[in-house]
Amino acid sequence: MDFGFSQEQDLLRQTARSFLEKECPSGFVRRMMDDPAGTTDEFWGKLAELGWLGLIYPEAYGGVGLGLVDLTVVLEEMGRAVMPGPFFSTVLLGGLAVREAGSEAQKQAWLPRIASGGARATLALLEESARWDAAGIEVTAKPGRTGGFVLSGTKLFVPDGHTADVLVVAARTARPTKENPSHGVSLFLVPADRKGVTATVLPTMDQTRKLAEVTLRRVDVGSEALLGPLHQGWPVVARVLERAAVALSAEMCGGAQKVLDLSTEYAKVRMAFGRPIGAYQAVKHRCADMLVAVENAKSITYYAAWAADQDAPDAPLAASMAKAFVSDAYRKVAGDGIQVHGGIGFTWEHDMHLYFKRAKGSEVAFGDATFHRERVARLLEL
């Protein structure tokens, strides 16, 4: 048994950290907050050069062929830098859905383009109900006159839905059955320039991560747009969400670690009543609790990533345990970070709010702690 990273993974982390410190400092993050795309072509091209856009895709499709544990290392560093832009939506939502369920032709069409930086993708899942289960899918896909499908309805909270080149849309093609409440959902690959697709960016709390409303007005797609089996698309969504939850947990761990680092450094230099505030137990115990939360968050996340890579029987359980734990932990740590910083931590100028907002946005993405605890209870047959 070995529960640590390899030398190659440590090296990958060093590369990621030094790249992001240079290319993605706070100034860049703040510029991208005001930029609707959330990234620049130049920065995106560098991610492609590093191989990160295809890190977890097979080499046959232009990827590097590594696993989620390897990606965890990079994601932690991205979370540490509050990296803006559509990396997550492209690689872990849209692209991952294609990797999981795509036909050979679909994989050939999209994965090499994603890996080389030539296309951005996302998953259009949530709707007005904001439900994370199959019952939330009400956007319809009806048989078209020429053998394809016609998609109608509105998707909400679509990560980078306004800049993606292709959207994986979950739509209803049949009613759920009594035996299988997730029956009747199908996935479609919809190019964003298809007639009838409109996307509007939504004002969100975490401005480093854009969410969009995507309206589908009688969008015609051919039968080749169907991704995965007809009516049986939900298991694909579930698998993608499970991996996305683990990946996001990894990113959150990196952010929480950075908050701890910033707070600890500040507690060593900020003076009050003639001493550094970190000498007072009220502050140092808060920092110790943050450390415990961060270490524990990493432990469960790393295990969940490993279990996902191994397709272990407890991988779904581990994914929910990680997302539940890390969601609570990052929110708490980010809030504690503001408290340790005092007034300066509440300003726009200080970076602490970037982490606090990212923590909150990440907490609700793919199900919050309450959602995942209930899922844990169900998986344990309680």
Q: Is 17 helix (H, G, I), strand (E, B) or coil?
A: helix
Please provide the size of the chain in residues.
382
Residues 6+ apart with CB under 8 A from 205: 357, 360, 361
Provide the minimum distance between the beta carbon of 292 and other proteins in the complex, in angstroms, as a whole number.
Answer: 4
Q: Which of 92, 287, 315, 338 binds other proteins (CB under 8 A)?
A: 287
Q: Which is nearer to other proteins, 5 or 19 (CB)?
A: 5
Q: Taking a C-beta distance cutoff of 8 angstroms, is the pair 201, 211 a contact? A: yes
What is the spatial distance between Cα 201 and Cα 213, in angstroms, rounded to a whole number? Answer: 6
* Signed CA dihedral, 139, 143, 146, 149: sign only: positive
Does 291 sit near other proteins (CB under 8 A)?
Answer: yes
Instruction: Please choose, out of 24-32, 96-104, 121-129, 268-276, the segment that lies near other proteins by the rule CB under 8 A.
Output: 268-276
Q: At what angle do helices 234-269 and 352-364 cross, to 10 degrees?
A: 160
Does 281 sit near other proteins (CB under 8 A)?
Answer: yes
Which residues within the stretch 79-98 sit at the binding site for other proteins (CB under 8 A)? none
Which residues within the stretch 6-65 sit at the binding site for other proteins (CB under 8 A)? 6
Q: How many amino acids of this chain bind other proteins (CB under 8 A)?
A: 44
What's the chain's Rg over C-alpha atoms? Answer: 21
Does 285 sit near other proteins (CB under 8 A)?
Answer: yes
**148 secondary structure, DSSP code:** S
Does 264 sit near other proteins (CB under 8 A)?
Answer: yes
Provide the minimum distance between the beta carbon of 363 and other proteins in the complex, in angstroms, as a whole number.
Answer: 15
Q: Which is nearer to other proteins, 40 or 296 (CB)?
A: 296
Does 230 sit near other proteins (CB under 8 A)?
Answer: no
What is the spatial distance between Cα 206 and Cα 358, in angstroms, rounded to a whole number? Answer: 5
Residues 6+ apart with CB under 8 A from 239: 100
Does 300 sit near other proteins (CB under 8 A)?
Answer: yes
Does 306 sit near other proteins (CB under 8 A)?
Answer: yes
Q: Which of 57, 188, 302, 330 binds other proteins (CB under 8 A)?
A: 302
Does 4 sit near other proteins (CB under 8 A)?
Answer: yes
Instruction: Please choose, out of 54-62, 202-210, 247-255, 282-290, the segment that lies near other proteins by the rule CB under 8 A.
Output: 282-290
Provide the minimum distance between the beta carbon of 178 and other proteins in the complex, in angstroms, as a whole number.
Answer: 22
Q: Which of 303, 330, 355, 366 binds other proteins (CB under 8 A)?
A: 303
Instruction: Please choose, out of 1-9, 33-41, 131-139, 154-162, the segment that lies near other proteins by the rule CB under 8 A.
Output: 1-9
Task: Copy the structure tokens of residue 230.
Answer: 């007809």
Q: Which is nearer to other proteins, 215 or 299 (CB)?
A: 299
Q: Which is nearer to other proteins, 31 or 378 (CB)?
A: 378
Q: Which of 130, 135, 205, 292 binds other proteins (CB under 8 A)?
A: 292
What is the spatial distance between Cα 211 and Cα 202, in angstroms, rounded to a whole number? Answer: 6
Does 3 sit near other proteins (CB under 8 A)?
Answer: yes
Amino acid at 28: F
Q: Which is nearer to other proteins, 69 or 141 (CB)?
A: 69
What is the DSSP secondary-structure string of 236-290? HHHHHHHHHHHHHHHHHHHHHHHHHHHHHHHHHH-EETTEEGGGSHHHHHHHHHH
Task: Copy the structure tokens of residue 313.
Answer: 């029987």
What phi and psi, each to the nearest 5 degrees, are found at residue 180? -135, 95
Cα dihedral: 189, 52, 292, 4 (round 10): 120
Q: Which is nearer to other proteins, 186 or 257 (CB)?
A: 257
Does 374 sit near other proteins (CB under 8 A)?
Answer: yes
What is the spatial distance between Cα 86 and Cα 209, in angstroms, rounded to a whole number? Answer: 8
Does 1 sit near other proteins (CB under 8 A)?
Answer: yes
Which residues within the stretch 334-373 sit at the binding site for other proteins (CB under 8 A)? 370, 373
Q: Which of 8, 31, 275, 342 binds other proteins (CB under 8 A)?
A: 275
Instruction: Give the side-chain half-sphere CA count within 13 A for 177.
Output: 6
What is the spatial distance between Cα 78 and Cα 327, in angstroms, rounded to a whole number? Answer: 17
Sites of contact with other proteins (CB under 8 A): 1-6, 69, 260, 264, 267-268, 275-276, 278-281, 283-285, 287-289, 291-292, 295-296, 298-300, 302-303, 306, 318, 321, 324-325, 370, 373-374, 376-377, 380, 382
